[in-house]
Amino acid sequence: MNVLVVTIEGGGNMPPVLSLIRQLVDRGHRVTVMCEPCQKESVERTGATSILFREYFTRTDRNVDISEDWKSKNNFFENVIFGPAQMVVRETLENIKSCKADLLIVDVLLLPGLIAGEAAGIPRVALFHFPEYLPGPNRPPGGLGLAPGRNVIGKIRDRFLGKVFDMVFNKWRGKINTIRKDLHLPAVGNTTDILHKADMRIIQTSRTFDFPILPVPLNVCYSGPVLDDPDWVMPWENPWDDARPLVVVSLSSTFQNQKKAIDNCIQALGALDVQGLVTLGPAMEGEQFTVPENVKVISNGSHAQIFPHAACVVTHAGHGTVMRALSNHVPLVCLPMGRDQDDNAARVVYHKAGIGLSPRAGAPRIRQAVSKILQDNSYKENTRRLGEKIIADAGSGDIISELERLAGVKSGVTGPKTKSGAGVE
Protein backbone atom coordinates (compact mmCIF):
# COMPACT_ATOMS: atom_id res chain seq x y z
CA MET A 1 0.00 0.00 0.00
CA ASN A 2 0.87 3.66 -0.37
CA VAL A 3 -0.37 5.06 2.93
CA LEU A 4 -0.70 8.74 3.86
CA VAL A 5 -0.86 9.47 7.60
CA VAL A 6 -1.88 12.95 8.77
CA THR A 7 -0.93 13.95 12.32
CA ILE A 8 0.45 16.71 14.54
CA GLU A 9 2.50 16.83 17.74
CA GLY A 10 -0.06 16.54 20.53
CA GLY A 11 2.03 14.95 23.27
CA GLY A 12 0.33 11.70 24.21
CA ASN A 13 -0.84 11.00 20.66
CA MET A 14 2.67 10.39 19.37
CA PRO A 15 3.58 6.95 20.83
CA PRO A 16 0.42 5.27 19.46
CA VAL A 17 0.61 7.10 16.11
CA LEU A 18 4.30 6.25 15.66
CA SER A 19 3.62 2.64 16.66
CA LEU A 20 1.04 2.24 13.88
CA ILE A 21 3.37 3.89 11.35
CA ARG A 22 6.19 1.56 12.37
CA GLN A 23 3.96 -1.51 12.00
CA LEU A 24 2.95 -0.44 8.49
CA VAL A 25 6.59 0.14 7.49
CA ASP A 26 7.70 -3.17 8.98
CA ARG A 27 5.01 -4.92 6.92
CA GLY A 28 6.62 -3.48 3.78
CA HIS A 29 4.17 -0.70 2.98
CA ARG A 30 5.23 2.74 1.76
CA VAL A 31 4.19 5.29 4.38
CA THR A 32 4.24 9.06 4.01
CA VAL A 33 3.45 11.16 7.07
CA MET A 34 2.12 14.70 6.80
CA CYS A 35 3.35 16.31 10.02
CA GLU A 36 4.99 19.27 11.76
CA PRO A 37 8.73 20.04 11.55
CA CYS A 38 9.13 19.12 15.24
CA GLN A 39 7.95 15.57 14.38
CA LYS A 40 10.15 15.04 11.34
CA GLU A 41 13.01 13.21 13.10
CA SER A 42 10.71 10.91 15.09
CA VAL A 43 8.66 10.06 12.01
CA GLU A 44 11.67 9.28 9.83
CA ARG A 45 13.17 7.00 12.49
CA THR A 46 10.23 4.66 11.82
CA GLY A 47 11.29 4.33 8.19
CA ALA A 48 8.46 6.51 6.90
CA THR A 49 8.84 9.61 4.72
CA SER A 50 7.76 12.98 6.13
CA ILE A 51 6.00 15.82 4.33
CA LEU A 52 5.65 19.03 6.35
CA PHE A 53 2.61 21.25 6.67
CA ARG A 54 3.21 24.52 4.83
CA GLU A 55 0.72 27.09 6.13
CA TYR A 56 -0.06 26.07 9.73
CA PHE A 57 1.21 23.46 12.17
CA THR A 58 4.74 24.63 11.41
CA ARG A 59 6.29 24.35 14.88
CA THR A 60 9.97 23.45 15.12
CA ASP A 61 9.67 23.30 18.94
CA ARG A 62 7.14 20.75 20.20
CA ASN A 63 6.72 22.70 23.45
CA VAL A 64 5.16 25.74 21.77
CA ASP A 65 1.54 25.75 22.97
CA ILE A 66 -0.77 26.32 20.01
CA SER A 67 -3.95 24.89 21.55
CA GLU A 68 -4.19 26.94 24.77
CA ASP A 69 -6.88 24.47 25.82
CA TRP A 70 -5.99 24.96 29.47
CA LYS A 71 -7.65 28.37 29.14
CA SER A 72 -10.76 27.13 27.31
CA LYS A 73 -11.81 23.89 25.63
CA ASN A 74 -13.09 25.96 22.71
CA ASN A 75 -9.52 27.05 22.02
CA PHE A 76 -8.60 23.49 21.07
CA PHE A 77 -11.49 23.22 18.63
CA GLU A 78 -10.69 26.59 17.08
CA ASN A 79 -6.88 26.48 17.11
CA VAL A 80 -6.36 22.82 16.22
CA ILE A 81 -9.35 20.88 14.90
CA PHE A 82 -11.67 23.21 12.99
CA GLY A 83 -9.94 26.57 12.62
CA PRO A 84 -7.30 25.26 10.17
CA ALA A 85 -9.71 22.73 8.58
CA GLN A 86 -9.69 24.22 5.08
CA MET A 87 -5.90 24.21 4.96
CA VAL A 88 -5.69 20.66 6.36
CA VAL A 89 -8.13 19.33 3.75
CA ARG A 90 -6.41 21.17 0.88
CA GLU A 91 -2.88 20.03 1.77
CA THR A 92 -4.04 16.49 2.53
CA LEU A 93 -5.72 16.23 -0.86
CA GLU A 94 -2.59 17.54 -2.60
CA ASN A 95 -0.46 14.94 -0.83
CA ILE A 96 -2.90 12.10 -1.56
CA LYS A 97 -2.39 12.86 -5.24
CA SER A 98 1.38 13.38 -5.06
CA CYS A 99 1.91 10.17 -3.04
CA LYS A 100 -0.62 8.20 -5.09
CA ALA A 101 -2.05 7.10 -1.73
CA ASP A 102 -4.22 3.97 -1.56
CA LEU A 103 -5.21 4.60 2.05
CA LEU A 104 -5.58 7.69 4.25
CA ILE A 105 -5.14 7.56 8.04
CA VAL A 106 -6.01 10.76 9.90
CA ASP A 107 -5.21 11.52 13.54
CA VAL A 108 -8.57 12.41 15.10
CA LEU A 109 -7.03 15.73 16.23
CA LEU A 110 -7.30 16.72 12.56
CA LEU A 111 -10.58 14.97 11.74
CA PRO A 112 -11.57 17.34 8.86
CA GLY A 113 -8.67 15.78 6.94
CA LEU A 114 -10.90 12.75 6.36
CA ILE A 115 -12.87 14.86 3.86
CA ALA A 116 -9.83 14.81 1.55
CA GLY A 117 -9.92 11.02 1.42
CA GLU A 118 -13.61 11.09 0.63
CA ALA A 119 -13.01 13.57 -2.21
CA ALA A 120 -10.15 11.43 -3.57
CA GLY A 121 -12.25 8.27 -3.41
CA ILE A 122 -9.81 6.26 -1.28
CA PRO A 123 -10.47 4.40 2.01
CA ARG A 124 -10.13 6.67 5.02
CA VAL A 125 -9.38 5.78 8.62
CA ALA A 126 -9.81 7.90 11.77
CA LEU A 127 -7.22 7.14 14.45
CA PHE A 128 -8.34 7.56 18.07
CA HIS A 129 -5.43 7.37 20.52
CA PHE A 130 -7.82 7.44 23.50
CA PRO A 131 -11.11 5.70 24.44
CA GLU A 132 -14.39 5.97 22.55
CA TYR A 133 -15.40 9.62 22.30
CA LEU A 134 -18.69 9.64 20.40
CA PRO A 135 -22.04 9.35 22.21
CA GLY A 136 -24.14 6.23 21.76
CA PRO A 137 -27.34 4.55 22.94
CA ASN A 138 -25.66 3.22 26.07
CA ARG A 139 -23.07 5.88 26.88
CA PRO A 140 -22.57 9.64 27.28
CA PRO A 141 -20.26 11.58 24.96
CA GLY A 142 -16.57 11.93 25.70
CA GLY A 143 -14.98 14.91 27.38
CA LEU A 144 -17.29 14.95 30.40
CA GLY A 145 -15.70 12.29 32.60
CA LEU A 146 -18.96 10.36 33.01
CA ALA A 147 -19.65 6.66 33.27
CA PRO A 148 -22.70 5.32 31.37
CA GLY A 149 -26.01 5.84 33.14
CA ARG A 150 -27.29 2.67 34.78
CA ASN A 151 -30.95 3.55 35.37
CA VAL A 152 -33.71 5.29 33.42
CA ILE A 153 -32.68 8.76 34.58
CA GLY A 154 -29.04 8.05 33.74
CA LYS A 155 -29.94 6.84 30.26
CA ILE A 156 -32.10 9.93 29.64
CA ARG A 157 -29.13 12.03 30.77
CA ASP A 158 -26.85 10.26 28.31
CA ARG A 159 -29.24 10.79 25.38
CA PHE A 160 -29.63 14.47 26.27
CA LEU A 161 -25.86 14.97 26.54
CA GLY A 162 -25.42 13.23 23.19
CA LYS A 163 -27.64 15.88 21.60
CA VAL A 164 -25.68 18.64 23.35
CA PHE A 165 -22.47 17.08 22.04
CA ASP A 166 -23.78 17.30 18.48
CA MET A 167 -24.82 20.92 19.05
CA VAL A 168 -21.30 21.82 20.22
CA PHE A 169 -19.65 20.18 17.20
CA ASN A 170 -22.23 21.66 14.85
CA LYS A 171 -20.93 25.11 15.65
CA TRP A 172 -18.44 24.33 12.85
CA ARG A 173 -20.87 22.49 10.54
CA GLY A 174 -21.24 25.49 8.22
CA LYS A 175 -17.49 25.66 7.72
CA ILE A 176 -17.28 21.92 7.11
CA ASN A 177 -20.11 21.98 4.59
CA THR A 178 -18.51 24.90 2.74
CA ILE A 179 -15.36 22.78 2.35
CA ARG A 180 -17.45 19.83 1.21
CA LYS A 181 -19.38 21.94 -1.30
CA ASP A 182 -16.14 23.20 -2.84
CA LEU A 183 -15.14 19.55 -3.32
CA HIS A 184 -18.56 18.61 -4.78
CA LEU A 185 -19.41 16.46 -1.77
CA PRO A 186 -22.88 16.36 -0.16
CA ALA A 187 -23.46 18.36 3.01
CA VAL A 188 -23.47 16.58 6.38
CA GLY A 189 -26.29 16.95 8.89
CA ASN A 190 -23.90 16.74 11.83
CA THR A 191 -20.20 17.55 11.97
CA THR A 192 -19.54 14.16 13.57
CA ASP A 193 -20.89 12.49 10.42
CA ILE A 194 -17.31 12.90 9.14
CA LEU A 195 -16.35 10.17 11.62
CA HIS A 196 -19.41 8.00 11.04
CA LYS A 197 -18.74 8.09 7.27
CA ALA A 198 -15.11 6.97 7.70
CA ASP A 199 -14.38 3.45 6.46
CA MET A 200 -12.76 2.62 9.79
CA ARG A 201 -12.28 4.13 13.25
CA ILE A 202 -9.31 2.59 15.04
CA ILE A 203 -9.54 3.01 18.82
CA GLN A 204 -6.13 2.43 20.38
CA THR A 205 -7.15 1.37 23.85
CA SER A 206 -8.23 -1.72 25.74
CA ARG A 207 -11.85 -2.69 25.14
CA THR A 208 -11.91 -3.89 28.75
CA PHE A 209 -10.91 -0.43 30.00
CA ASP A 210 -13.33 1.48 27.74
CA PHE A 211 -17.06 2.19 27.83
CA PRO A 212 -17.71 1.17 24.19
CA ILE A 213 -20.84 1.99 22.25
CA LEU A 214 -23.00 -1.15 22.15
CA PRO A 215 -23.56 -2.55 19.67
CA VAL A 216 -20.14 -1.52 18.42
CA PRO A 217 -20.47 0.59 15.22
CA LEU A 218 -19.60 -1.30 12.05
CA ASN A 219 -16.59 0.93 11.29
CA VAL A 220 -14.96 0.57 14.73
CA CYS A 221 -11.88 -1.53 15.48
CA TYR A 222 -10.29 -1.74 18.93
CA SER A 223 -6.60 -2.30 18.27
CA GLY A 224 -5.53 -2.43 21.92
CA PRO A 225 -3.37 0.11 23.80
CA VAL A 226 0.16 1.08 22.83
CA LEU A 227 2.45 0.86 25.87
CA ASP A 228 5.55 2.44 24.30
CA ASP A 229 7.34 5.32 26.04
CA PRO A 230 7.53 8.64 24.18
CA ASP A 231 10.60 8.88 21.97
CA TRP A 232 12.17 11.67 24.08
CA VAL A 233 12.37 9.89 27.47
CA MET A 234 15.66 9.09 29.17
CA PRO A 235 16.70 5.84 30.87
CA TRP A 236 16.12 5.68 34.63
CA GLU A 237 17.78 3.84 37.52
CA ASN A 238 16.28 3.62 41.01
CA PRO A 239 18.27 6.06 43.22
CA TRP A 240 16.90 4.65 46.52
CA ASP A 241 17.98 1.57 48.43
CA ASP A 242 15.35 1.57 51.20
CA ALA A 243 11.95 -0.09 51.50
CA ARG A 244 9.71 3.00 51.41
CA PRO A 245 7.01 2.77 48.71
CA LEU A 246 7.72 4.68 45.53
CA VAL A 247 5.07 7.23 44.52
CA VAL A 248 5.50 8.71 41.03
CA VAL A 249 4.08 12.06 39.90
CA SER A 250 3.59 12.49 36.14
CA LEU A 251 1.45 15.45 35.07
CA SER A 252 1.62 15.64 31.25
CA SER A 253 4.41 16.18 28.74
CA THR A 254 2.60 19.19 27.23
CA PHE A 255 1.71 22.51 28.82
CA GLN A 256 -1.53 22.52 30.82
CA ASN A 257 -0.62 25.21 33.35
CA GLN A 258 0.22 22.40 35.78
CA LYS A 259 2.96 24.00 37.91
CA LYS A 260 0.67 24.59 40.91
CA ALA A 261 -0.62 21.03 40.75
CA ILE A 262 2.96 19.70 40.74
CA ASP A 263 3.76 21.91 43.74
CA ASN A 264 0.78 20.47 45.59
CA CYS A 265 1.87 16.92 44.78
CA ILE A 266 5.41 17.58 46.02
CA GLN A 267 4.10 19.03 49.28
CA ALA A 268 1.77 16.06 49.72
CA LEU A 269 4.56 13.50 49.25
CA GLY A 270 6.86 15.45 51.54
CA ALA A 271 4.47 14.74 54.42
CA LEU A 272 4.38 10.98 53.77
CA ASP A 273 6.84 8.19 54.54
CA VAL A 274 7.43 7.44 50.87
CA GLN A 275 9.95 7.91 48.11
CA GLY A 276 8.61 10.55 45.77
CA LEU A 277 9.68 10.82 42.14
CA VAL A 278 8.40 13.70 40.00
CA THR A 279 8.88 13.50 36.23
CA LEU A 280 8.36 16.95 34.72
CA GLY A 281 8.22 16.26 31.00
CA PRO A 282 9.29 18.75 28.30
CA ALA A 283 6.69 21.39 29.20
CA MET A 284 7.81 21.77 32.84
CA GLU A 285 11.49 20.81 32.82
CA GLY A 286 12.68 24.40 33.16
CA GLU A 287 10.50 25.15 36.21
CA GLN A 288 11.90 25.38 39.75
CA PHE A 289 10.32 23.65 42.76
CA THR A 290 10.99 23.49 46.50
CA VAL A 291 11.68 19.81 47.10
CA PRO A 292 11.71 17.93 50.46
CA GLU A 293 14.32 15.32 51.33
CA ASN A 294 12.24 12.31 50.28
CA VAL A 295 11.30 13.65 46.82
CA LYS A 296 13.42 13.77 43.68
CA VAL A 297 12.51 15.81 40.61
CA ILE A 298 13.81 14.77 37.18
CA SER A 299 13.17 16.24 33.75
CA ASN A 300 11.86 12.93 32.42
CA GLY A 301 12.25 9.20 32.79
CA SER A 302 11.10 5.96 31.20
CA HIS A 303 7.75 4.81 32.58
CA ALA A 304 8.65 1.32 31.40
CA GLN A 305 11.57 1.37 33.84
CA ILE A 306 9.97 3.41 36.66
CA PHE A 307 6.47 1.98 36.99
CA PRO A 308 7.48 -1.62 37.84
CA HIS A 309 8.94 -0.18 41.06
CA ALA A 310 5.99 2.10 41.90
CA ALA A 311 3.26 1.62 44.49
CA CYS A 312 1.15 4.56 43.26
CA VAL A 313 1.15 7.01 40.34
CA VAL A 314 -0.27 10.52 40.67
CA THR A 315 -1.17 11.68 37.18
CA HIS A 316 -3.15 14.01 34.93
CA ALA A 317 -4.71 10.80 33.57
CA GLY A 318 -3.35 11.05 30.05
CA HIS A 319 -4.18 7.81 28.26
CA GLY A 320 -0.59 6.65 27.77
CA THR A 321 0.37 7.20 31.40
CA VAL A 322 -2.78 5.45 32.63
CA MET A 323 -2.23 2.44 30.35
CA ARG A 324 1.42 2.08 31.34
CA ALA A 325 0.59 2.33 35.06
CA LEU A 326 -2.28 -0.18 34.88
CA SER A 327 -0.25 -2.61 32.78
CA ASN A 328 2.30 -2.57 35.62
CA HIS A 329 -0.50 -3.12 38.17
CA VAL A 330 0.00 0.32 39.75
CA PRO A 331 -3.06 2.14 41.19
CA LEU A 332 -3.56 5.81 40.32
CA VAL A 333 -4.54 9.14 41.81
CA CYS A 334 -5.96 11.10 38.88
CA LEU A 335 -5.98 14.90 38.57
CA PRO A 336 -7.49 15.33 35.07
CA MET A 337 -6.87 18.71 33.42
CA GLY A 338 -8.90 18.39 30.21
CA ARG A 339 -8.70 16.70 26.77
CA ASP A 340 -9.36 12.96 27.17
CA GLN A 341 -8.17 12.99 30.78
CA ASP A 342 -11.55 13.31 32.53
CA ASP A 343 -12.78 10.26 30.61
CA ASN A 344 -9.67 8.22 31.46
CA ALA A 345 -10.00 9.16 35.14
CA ALA A 346 -13.68 8.16 35.11
CA ARG A 347 -12.72 4.72 33.81
CA VAL A 348 -10.00 4.33 36.44
CA VAL A 349 -12.54 5.11 39.17
CA TYR A 350 -15.19 2.88 37.55
CA HIS A 351 -12.79 -0.08 37.60
CA LYS A 352 -11.84 0.79 41.22
CA ALA A 353 -8.21 1.06 40.16
CA GLY A 354 -7.67 4.48 41.67
CA ILE A 355 -9.08 7.75 42.98
CA GLY A 356 -10.17 10.80 41.02
CA LEU A 357 -9.52 14.34 42.31
CA SER A 358 -9.89 17.86 40.99
CA PRO A 359 -6.72 19.25 39.38
CA ARG A 360 -7.04 22.05 41.93
CA ALA A 361 -6.90 19.64 44.87
CA GLY A 362 -4.57 20.87 47.58
CA ALA A 363 -1.68 18.99 49.18
CA PRO A 364 -3.81 17.60 52.09
CA ARG A 365 -6.36 16.06 49.75
CA ILE A 366 -3.65 14.55 47.53
CA ARG A 367 -1.87 13.20 50.61
CA GLN A 368 -5.09 11.54 51.82
CA ALA A 369 -5.70 9.93 48.44
CA VAL A 370 -2.15 8.55 48.17
CA SER A 371 -2.36 7.23 51.74
CA LYS A 372 -5.65 5.47 50.97
CA ILE A 373 -4.15 3.84 47.86
CA LEU A 374 -1.13 2.62 49.83
CA GLN A 375 -3.20 1.29 52.75
CA ASP A 376 -6.14 -0.30 50.91
CA ASN A 377 -5.00 -3.49 49.17
CA SER A 378 -8.20 -3.64 47.09
CA TYR A 379 -6.82 -0.97 44.75
CA LYS A 380 -3.76 -3.08 44.07
CA GLU A 381 -5.85 -6.21 43.48
CA ASN A 382 -8.32 -4.44 41.19
CA THR A 383 -5.44 -2.91 39.24
CA ARG A 384 -3.76 -6.30 38.89
CA ARG A 385 -6.90 -7.87 37.37
CA LEU A 386 -7.48 -4.93 35.03
CA GLY A 387 -3.80 -4.70 34.11
CA GLU A 388 -3.67 -8.33 33.02
CA LYS A 389 -6.58 -7.73 30.64
CA ILE A 390 -4.95 -4.57 29.30
CA ILE A 391 -1.72 -6.44 28.58
CA ALA A 392 -3.71 -9.15 26.79
CA ASP A 393 -5.56 -6.52 24.74
CA ALA A 394 -2.27 -4.81 23.85
CA GLY A 395 -0.90 -8.02 22.39
CA SER A 396 -3.99 -9.25 20.56
CA GLY A 397 -5.10 -8.89 16.98
CA ASP A 398 -3.44 -7.56 13.85
CA ILE A 399 -4.69 -4.12 12.87
CA ILE A 400 -2.40 -4.03 9.82
CA SER A 401 -4.25 -6.98 8.28
CA GLU A 402 -7.50 -5.07 8.80
CA LEU A 403 -6.04 -2.05 7.01
CA GLU A 404 -4.76 -4.24 4.19
CA ARG A 405 -8.20 -5.76 3.71
CA LEU A 406 -9.73 -2.28 3.77
CA ALA A 407 -7.43 -1.17 0.97
CA GLY A 408 -8.00 -4.41 -0.95
CA VAL A 409 -4.37 -5.49 -0.74
CA LYS A 410 -5.15 -9.11 0.18
CA SER A 411 -8.86 -9.53 -0.37
CA GLY A 412 -9.08 -7.59 -3.63
CA VAL A 413 -12.20 -5.89 -2.31
CA THR A 414 -12.30 -2.49 -0.64
CA GLY A 415 -14.51 -1.85 2.36
CA PRO A 416 -14.31 -2.65 6.08
CA LYS A 417 -14.00 -6.34 6.85
CA THR A 418 -14.36 -6.37 10.63
CA LYS A 419 -16.85 -8.78 12.14
CA SER A 420 -19.89 -6.69 13.04
CA GLY A 421 -17.57 -3.91 14.14
CA ALA A 422 -16.07 -6.13 16.80
CA GLY A 423 -12.55 -5.14 15.88
CA VAL A 424 -9.39 -7.15 15.79
CA GLU A 425 -9.10 -8.28 19.37
- Judge contact between 255 and 9, C-beta under 8 A: no
Q: In terms of Cα–Cα distance, which of 335, 318, 341, 310 is closest to 258?
A: 335
Using CA atoms, how far apart are residues 359 and 36, in angstroms rounded to an integer?
30
Q: Which residues of the chain have pLDDT under 50?
A: 411-425
The pLDDT value recorded for residue 190 is 97
- Judge contact between 231 and 255, C-beta under 8 A: no
The pLDDT value recorded for residue 422 is 43
The three-class DSSP label of residue 231 is coil
Please return the burial class of 55, using the count of CB atoms within 10 Å of its CB with bins 0-12, 13-18 and 19+: exposed
Domains for the chain: give ranges and CATH numbers: 2-224+397-406 (3.40.50.2000), 246-393 (3.40.50.2000)
The pLDDT value recorded for residue 283 is 85
The pLDDT value recorded for residue 415 is 41
The pLDDT value recorded for residue 242 is 83
Using CA atoms, how far apart are residues 278 and 313, in angstroms rounded to an integer?
10
Predicted structure pTM score: 0.92
DSSP annotation of 290 reads -
Which H, E and C letters describe 149-182, residue by residue? Answer: CCCHHHHHHHHHHHHHHHHHHHHHHHHHHHHHHH
Using CA atoms, how far apart are residues 21 and 25, in angstroms rounded to an integer?
6
The pLDDT value recorded for residue 381 is 97
Q: In terms of Cα–Cα distance, which of 231, 183, 254, 189 is closest to 42?
A: 231
The pLDDT value recorded for residue 253 is 84
Q: In terms of Cα–Cα distance, which of 140, 147, 156, 95 is closest to 122?
A: 95
The pLDDT value recorded for residue 103 is 98
Using CA atoms, how far apart are residues 208 and 27, in angstroms rounded to an integer?
28
